[in-house]
Amino acid sequence: MPTKTAADGFVERVELSGHIIDSLLLPKVLDHITAAGGRFEIEQITVGQAQRDPSFAVIAVHAPSADRLQQILADIADHGAVPVDSQDARLVAADIAGAFPEGFYSTTNQRTEVRLAGRWIEVQDQEMDCGVLIESSRHTPCAVDQDGTSSRQTPSAVMDGTSSRQTPSAVMDGTRSVPTTMTARCAAMTDVKIGQTYVVGHAGVRVRPEERQAKSHGFEFMNSPVSTEKPKGVAIRQIALELLRTRREGGKALLVGGPAIVHTGSVEHVSRLLRGGYIHRLFAGNALATHDIEQALFGTSLGVRLDSGDIIEAGHEHHLRAINRIRRLGGIRRAVETGELKSGIMHECVKHNVEFLLAGSIRDDGPLPEVITDTLVAQAKMREQIRDVTFCLMVATTLHSIAVGNLLPAWVKVVCVDINPSTVIKLADRGSFQTVGLVTDVEPFFRALVADVELLAGSTK
Amino acid sequence: MPTKTAADGFVERVELSGHIIDSLLLPKVLDHITAAGGRFEIEQITVGQAQRDPSFAVIAVHAPSADRLQQILADIADHGAVPVDSQDARLVAADIAGAFPEGFYSTTNQRTEVRLAGRWIEVQDQEMDCGVLIESSRHTPCAVDQDGTSSRQTPSAVMDGTSSRQTPSAVMDGTRSVPTTMTARCAAMTDVKIGQTYVVGHAGVRVRPEERQAKSHGFEFMNSPVSTEKPKGVAIRQIALELLRTRREGGKALLVGGPAIVHTGSVEHVSRLLRGGYIHRLFAGNALATHDIEQALFGTSLGVRLDSGDIIEAGHEHHLRAINRIRRLGGIRRAVETGELKSGIMHECVKHNVEFLLAGSIRDDGPLPEVITDTLVAQAKMREQIRDVTFCLMVATTLHSIAVGNLLPAWVKVVCVDINPSTVIKLADRGSFQTVGLVTDVEPFFRALVADVELLAGSTK
Amino acid sequence: MPTKTAADGFVERVELSGHIIDSLLLPKVLDHITAAGGRFEIEQITVGQAQRDPSFAVIAVHAPSADRLQQILADIADHGAVPVDSQDARLVAADIAGAFPEGFYSTTNQRTEVRLAGRWIEVQDQEMDCGVLIESSRHTPCAVDQDGTSSRQTPSAVMDGTSSRQTPSAVMDGTRSVPTTMTARCAAMTDVKIGQTYVVGHAGVRVRPEERQAKSHGFEFMNSPVSTEKPKGVAIRQIALELLRTRREGGKALLVGGPAIVHTGSVEHVSRLLRGGYIHRLFAGNALATHDIEQALFGTSLGVRLDSGDIIEAGHEHHLRAINRIRRLGGIRRAVETGELKSGIMHECVKHNVEFLLAGSIRDDGPLPEVITDTLVAQAKMREQIRDVTFCLMVATTLHSIAVGNLLPAWVKVVCVDINPSTVIKLADRGSFQTVGLVTDVEPFFRALVADVELLAGSTK
Amino acid sequence: MPTKTAADGFVERVELSGHIIDSLLLPKVLDHITAAGGRFEIEQITVGQAQRDPSFAVIAVHAPSADRLQQILADIADHGAVPVDSQDARLVAADIAGAFPEGFYSTTNQRTEVRLAGRWIEVQDQEMDCGVLIESSRHTPCAVDQDGTSSRQTPSAVMDGTSSRQTPSAVMDGTRSVPTTMTARCAAMTDVKIGQTYVVGHAGVRVRPEERQAKSHGFEFMNSPVSTEKPKGVAIRQIALELLRTRREGGKALLVGGPAIVHTGSVEHVSRLLRGGYIHRLFAGNALATHDIEQALFGTSLGVRLDSGDIIEAGHEHHLRAINRIRRLGGIRRAVETGELKSGIMHECVKHNVEFLLAGSIRDDGPLPEVITDTLVAQAKMREQIRDVTFCLMVATTLHSIAVGNLLPAWVKVVCVDINPSTVIKLADRGSFQTVGLVTDVEPFFRALVADVELLAGSTK
């Protein structure tokens, strides 16, 4: 259908598909349009019958000015509304290192595609709050889907966007009419180099929001992340099943953990999961590793005996002596290799080749030699290590959980466990909507989880 | 030693014994004296060597006026400071029903003795925020005495400092020289009847504060009630041991519980404790019983399926239909007897003769027939039923926990479990200092507790 | 359009109107249908353009059996889906006092209508978790809307308790063919009397769910009730505006408050609101009144001096002495009249004819003479007093807030203020969806509220 | 008195002075002795009369072995128990860079002195969890107190790392008999260089614990940091007085703040404090600065309009665009200087020469150019900037509050404000006992604080 000429000005027709009613996409999109001063007509709507069946709508978006229309289209694009008649993404070269061009397209954590030369290319390394870096690579062709309805165009770096300070130039490789292989990937602000090409604006970008989990899915009830009055056994069993499935299918499970794991007496539980091959990465800070090692060396955590609950005299020094000992030995790995460190979470990680990443913070004592004290370096390493993570269990750490939540794409399942509802709320507030929250206590949680995992592993043998 | 005549006026010597340094009694008493404008001399001090050894101090309290001195003595009496040269308690007849005489002695939850006719009598039914009712136990309530600073009347009770009701002593009934047997017990304000005799002022009253738990006791570390970062396994094991000890020694364990026990999926855990004979009383409200019965009848709690976590359509009506069903059947006991109610906490209580007391609140739906809707009647019944309770486990209910905390004497061990630190804090704030708080999640707590209890019971057989 | 005969069995067409997309009604209804094993066709859909414009849908509901169809229709009726071709409500006589007939229609807190003799009658005294009592009254005709599409029928009281659509049978009053005036109102379970007529099942009942607040409404952002990281000044200003509007328009504002109002030092703030005529009812418990009076008599709250924050020696007795004093005087009103009680919230209530209702709980000391200790009596009085309430401010009390939340119809605006997110969450969890939650601290909240109210009142003069 | 030779072995007499009863030092010390298997005799005790008067005790500590005795003396030394007959501190040279010698003395945050050559020298830069670095400096003599009872000895740097009381050996500079000027200061583990001299063991170290705040001090009631039911107006007024006093006396007030300051709408309040000269340092993270700048540039915080509470379309991108803009401009200072950044907390800091320190964390977006991404560098800069801080207000940030709490000496007054009790608890749990906690909401807190500060400033003019 051709675009209608409307009395009130500017019109663009967009499509929306998926569980648009169930997942609130349609109401959100309509809401955005009117809230931003636009108007809509629903030209076509088909509502999926079953839970699995997608729905589909075609909406004519009207706005009083071209600018307003662009703003509206940009807004609703994040919710998956794609113009029926699309155009290529606008590309601008970075003029300053470490900063995007003005008007850069700011990514979500949802699957995203950009249109280049009429083709939709999936953005790699999806991560929220990044820019989309476009690179040409002759030698490593990437999978490019074809868009049937569009004309074939060469990507053109639009330089008139007022945001640039150089002369308009041509396509990245300079050979304008030669179709090259293009890739798109998320890049962090600090990694921007002068001359790199970034997507600007929302045109030619489409987002495919992750479908909400089906209603009857067991995790679903936990989506109200803050209620503590829910059946916990069911939730824990499902997390156990998830760990088993991950191991069976060769996925990677990441544990992001805080020191309360040690303080509450959960070291042995986590050690069993590590030995059992249920956890494949550990992200933590200096505190978890320190108290774990303190326990291994002194039997205490923050000076509290973990076998009796007693407070040890001068025990508050133990964590510092533990750090000092490990620093003298040259690091955690060396301490394990030399036999000084004989038990605990860090010991199991070394013994079972579970990669661990200890990120520094300003409240660290010491820190341990393996701690990465530069936060940008730590972020970069975390980015690398989450690439193949398929399940993430965050326990009792707000800082690390939010950091990881910022890096993970929306389709990785995340379970966040904390006794403090505010941590879970903070994660949800920050847009990690795929996060399932469980407000419960760390030690009993791990105790029950290990029991379930081992029971289920036995029964499925 | 004789009382010194001091230049600055009025003096009284008091004794303080027990763990007065360890338990902070001495600093508190000294603090009270100076804060209230008095002055002290420590005439004698002996500090116990071992944890168990009591300390002892004799303190001369100076004050600029007789009134001030009385006020100070009254203040420090609650901390166990007893005048070396004591006088009898002052008794006044109640002039109004349902209210104490002005200046009544307001009780603590600590062991208390009153001096009558030179003898110290232990106060029965110790409970905080009550008056001390003095009765002569011939057959009739004692006659009324006048309040006067001077009238020399004979209340003469047990002289040897031991708790006893034996020796006949004098006189509430006006027959001055006839020795009668006197008793003292706590009485609630609403139970005051005209003509009853109550203690007024602090003279002749001494309090024997419960000793703080020794430092090395495993529960001790939980005394900071709000930290969630403590080893939980140890705490749970100790509660398990307490339940076993209570059963072995023929004590009575009281469970005070809220509906989150059901919502979190802990019904089967609690049922096992009931069947195992570890719990001998249940205090709860309409909500716990209702959701327990809802689960037995419909498999849901507040409309959430407890086996799958799914939300059932129209399930929010289940609790109301459960109440209605039980009301139609004539009550919980009838529902069990007729075979309509086949499982759950209430079912186990009826089957295993565990007394349950359901107290009403203004937020109740229904309520169930067994619910006592008058709060004063409920309090009275609670008072009766706690008399022989030796261990109390409070789980996930602020209202009932505080209500029971108000009634229990200080020497009954109380463990308060809630995922919300504020509940535990509220209990501690209100003076139930014997309360041990555990901030943890209900279902995993009960799951671990039952496992520990059954393991330990097996191993001790 | 006539009902289609479908291959897969039973069909009924329902209408849904209002903000059905925006408010999630449509997705919910479709979800219910498929979740319960049915199937739907959207025969017609019109989506409102502007925020205010309602949408409208006609949905054909298919089910494999008549029973299943009835179940589905019952489920979706609570979300406002009304059969296009409707039938009268089924009526059954109560056979047991204090319990509804089995299968009774369980009310929501939304506007509800029942169809009797072809006419839709609005249910009075709307309250959740009640039954719908049908009464005939010749003398007091109530407003009855006519349903144009339906035939005129006599309401049929089905006395046998079985489902039937047969011939209309005898009306309650026995005079069969004489059309009488019928009324419908919510009745609590405990108030059921033998022989009264109640609605059974969902047929002939339609619910008109309250519209969600428009997105741009200032209160809207607070609908995520648990986040503490929201601009607070805006929220407080809007509550101030609501109080001003209520007073201006002659509405009734109800304050439901807990003792933290006194402990945090907010007595003077609340007193100003009372004196200013901004609060017209007070629901509280013994604790708020006691500590308010304690402050008036002794200058302390729970023994803490409110002007200095100091802890007073023996101050913990003050609350008990306050209660005793008032009991001796014969009550709060008498204490004000005799000049003994000279300030505070209760004093202002008496002086300014603000009705107060003190409901008892099992944790009460005393209680004060005005406290209603029977919870059913208290509920009944609360029901009476909320009839004309148009705005409700709940502060720092979980028990009373939930109790009032249970009684209020959905269209009364409620603001719930508590420093503890769990209280706000509990209210939201229990279906009081009209509740706006504000997680903030009591005293600074009231301080800012009073400042705003007085500023705005001045500026609008 | 001479040291007694006891039947059970080894004895050392220690002195304890200060508010040893009131502040629980005496019970703690006695407790440590017996818990560690020792025995004590109180040889002398004097209890101070008034609040201000110090008490004094001489205690003979007995232990069955020399090692045990040393352990006990080490434990109680942290509570201020000083051997009557003292010896010099043991010094050991660092053998590894970045780690202390084994057995290093681990510092507290209390005033500490070390004995070198018979003289007690105060340790500079007091900070917990550090080592004590001893340096000789001929040119900059430091204040050295003389210890009357001790003989003059040369400090002995024991280089072999073994415990020894042998012959005095070479002083650091090698010039044995020449008395040099020695200094002692806290050094962090990472700053250890090979060859530096550190104190090992507890001998020759004495701690002078900060006195607990007097009971009648208004802040005192807040020492139970978690209760939310306390009069807040009093607490806020006292913080206001503290800010005024700090400014008047030329002290330095440090604000440690989290982004909730911006989210809750407190930017203008904090700006007034900055403009008024009440805050002299700001420690924060990328988030506070980012959202502050987001508000200045876009009027939103995390995409929420702060003037209306509305959620802005695409507003979630604002914080990233704000960071990008500032990076493009070259930093916050440049943005202020060029007039791009016209308001907000960061703007006021630049305008009023308030030093700000932004420390990085792994959850940062961007970050802003001024953010110090290496946590060790950030810690080092924080150390420098807190040297002259006399009052510290921590608001709504756990990470930064704990980091600063770790660095501050015990005598700097700290007020920690958070709506979440767990943050305040965490600070208290970690030994920052000088911390006064206030559980309240950020915006109303600042609103009231500014009002009080401005009122009080006006009234004292």
Reported as a single tens digit per residue, the pLDDT across C264-305 is 899 999 999 999 999 999 999 999 999 999 999 988 777 677
CB contact B420 to C (< 8 Å): yes
B230-250 mean pLDDT:
89
Cα B405 off chain centre by: 5
The CA distance from C386 to C384, in Å, is 6
Contact C33, C61 (CB under 8 A): yes
pLDDT higher than threshold 50 for residue B389: yes
| D422 to chain C, closest Cα gap in Å | 12
Which tokens go with C392?
């409700």
pLDDT of residue A433: 53
pLDDT of residue A41: 79
Residue C426: CB atoms within 10 Å: 21
Looking at the DSSP bridge assignments, the partners of residue C113 are C122, C206
Q: Do A189 and D104 touch (CB under 8 A)?
A: no
- Pick the residue with more confidence: C214 or B47? B47
For B164, B406, D237, the CA distances from B200, given in Å and listed in that order, are 22, 21, 39
The torsion angles phi and psi of C206, rounded to 5 degrees, stand at: -130, 145
B222-242 mean pLDDT:
71
- Pick the residue with more confidence: D31 or A344? A344
Q: Which residue of C has its CA nearest to B75?
A: C314
User: What does the buried/exposed string (b/e) look like for D416-455 if buried means 16 or more CB atoms within 10 Å of the residue's CB?
Assistant: bbbbbbbbbbbbbbbbbebbbbbbbbbbbbbbbbbbbbee
Residue of B8, B22, B32, B213 to mutate, interface with D, max D Cβ within 10 Å: B22
pLDDT of residue B313: 54
- Pick the residue with more confidence: C37 or C327? C327
Q: Do C320 and B189 touch (CB under 8 A)?
A: yes
Q: Give the tens place of pLDDT for each residue, B247-265.
A: 999 999 999 999 999 988 9
Predicted TM-score (pTM) of the model is 0.82
- Per-residue confidence at C51, pLDDT binned at 50, 70, 90? low
**Mean pLDDT for chain D overall:** 81
pLDDT higher than threshold 70 for residue B220: no
| Helix locations, C94-217, DSSP H | none
Q: Give the tens place of pLDDT for each residue, A129-154.
A: 999 999 986 544 333 333 333 333 33
Q: Do C366 and B190 touch (CB under 8 A)?
A: yes
Nearest to A362 among D32, D189, D375 (CB): D375
Cα C270 off chain centre by: 23
B9-31 mean pLDDT:
78
Q: Give the tens place of pLDDT for each residue, C69-84.
A: 888 888 888 788 888 7
Lowest mean pLDDT among C104-108, C138-142, C181-185, D194-198: C138-142
C44-73 mean pLDDT:
77
- Pick the residue with more confidence: D85 or C238? C238
pLDDT of residue A407: 93
Select from C266, C288, C292, C283 the least CA-distant residue to C400: C283
Contacts of B366 in chain C (CB under 8 A): 189-190
The CA distance from A111 to C86, in Å, is 46
User: What does the buried/exposed string (b/e) look like for C25-38 if buried means 16 or more CB atoms within 10 Å of the residue's CB?
Assistant: bbbbbbbbbbbbeb
Upstream peptide bond of C367 is cis (omega within 30 degrees of 0) = yes
Q: Give the tens place of pLDDT for each residue, C3-47.
A: 444 455 788 888 888 777 666 678 778 877 877 778 887 777 777
**Mean pLDDT for chain A overall:** 81
Q: Do B228 and D422 touch (CB under 8 A)?
A: yes
**In chain A, how long is the greatest CA-to-CA distance?**
82
pLDDT of residue C425: 72
Pairing state between β B111-116 and B90-93: unpaired
**Mean pLDDT for chain B overall:** 81
- Per-residue confidence at C166, pLDDT binned at 50, 70, 90? very low
Select from B107, B102, B113, B121 the least CA-distant residue to B170: B121
Q: Which residues make Cβ contacts (< 8 Å) with residue D21, sequence separation at least 6?
A: B21, B26, B27, B30, D27, D47, D55
Contact B64, B192 (CB under 8 A): no
- Per-residue confidence at C229, pLDDT binned at 50, 70, 90? low
pLDDT higher than threshold 70 for residue D6: no
Cα B131 off chain centre by: 15
pLDDT of residue A50: 56
| C444 to chain D, closest Cα gap in Å | 5
Q: Do C236 and D419 touch (CB under 8 A)?
A: no
pLDDT higher than threshold 90 for residue B267: yes
The CA distance from A427 to A416, in Å, is 8
Terminal Cα-to-Cα distance of chain D (whole angstroms): 57
Residue of A227, A230, A418, A419 to mutate, interface with C, max C Cβ within 10 Å: A227
Select from B345, B262, B344, B258 the least CA-distant residue to B303: B262
pLDDT of residue B156: 37
- Per-residue confidence at B127, pLDDT binned at 50, 70, 90? very high
pLDDT higher than threshold 60 for residue B26: yes
Q: Give the tens place of pLDDT for each residue, B66-114.
A: 888 888 888 888 788 888 777 899 999 999 999 999 999 999 888 899 9
The number of helix segments (H) and strand segments (E) in chain A equals 13, 20
Q: What is the pLDDT along chain A (461 residues), one digit of tens a residue?
A: 334 444 557 888 888 887 776 666 787 788 778 777 788 877 777 776 655 566 778 888 888 888 888 888 888 887 888 887 778 999 999 999 999 999 999 998 888 999 999 898 999 999 999 999 999 865 443 333 333 333 333 344 333 333 333 333 333 433 334 346 899 999 999 999 999 999 998 888 888 776 554 333 334 333 444 455 667 888 888 899 999 999 999 999 999 999 999 988 999 999 999 999 999 999 999 999 999 999 999 887 776 776 766 656 556 788 999 999 999 999 999 999 999 999 999 999 999 999 999 999 999 999 999 999 999 999 999 999 999 999 999 999 999 999 999 999 988 888 999 988 777 777 765 554 567 788 889 998 999 999 999 999 987 55
Lowest mean pLDDT among B182-191, D2-11, D151-160: D151-160
CB contact B364 to C (< 8 Å): yes
Lowest mean pLDDT among B261-270, C146-155, C372-381: C146-155
Q: Which of residues 307-346 of D touch A (CB under 8 A)?
A: 313-314, 316-317, 320-321, 323-325, 327-328
Q: Do C375 and B374 touch (CB under 8 A)?
A: yes
**Interface predicted TM-score (ipTM):** 0.81
C399-424 mean pLDDT:
88
Cα-based angle B29, B30, B36 (whole degrees, multiple of 5): 90
CB contact C375 to B (< 8 Å): yes
pLDDT of residue A239: 92
Q: Do D363 and A406 touch (CB under 8 A)?
A: yes
Sign for the CA dihedral angle at D280, D284, D290, D294 comes to negative
3-state secondary structure of A221: helix
- Per-residue confidence at D308, pLDDT binned at 50, 70, 90? low
| B50 to chain D, closest Cα gap in Å | 6
For A408, B117, B297, D404, the CA distances from A128, given in Å and listed in that order, are 8, 82, 47, 31
Sign for the CA dihedral angle at B31, B32, B33, B36 comes to positive
Lowest mean pLDDT among B144-158, B196-210, D115-129: B144-158
Contact C211, C53 (CB under 8 A): no
- Per-residue confidence at C461, pLDDT binned at 50, 70, 90? low
Q: Do D234 and C309 touch (CB under 8 A)?
A: yes
- Per-residue confidence at D91, pLDDT binned at 50, 70, 90? very high
pLDDT of residue C126: 94
Which tokens go with A263?
């303080």
**In chain B, how long is the greatest CA-to-CA distance?**
82
pLDDT of residue C282: 98
Nearest to D189 among A35, A36, A327 (CB): A327
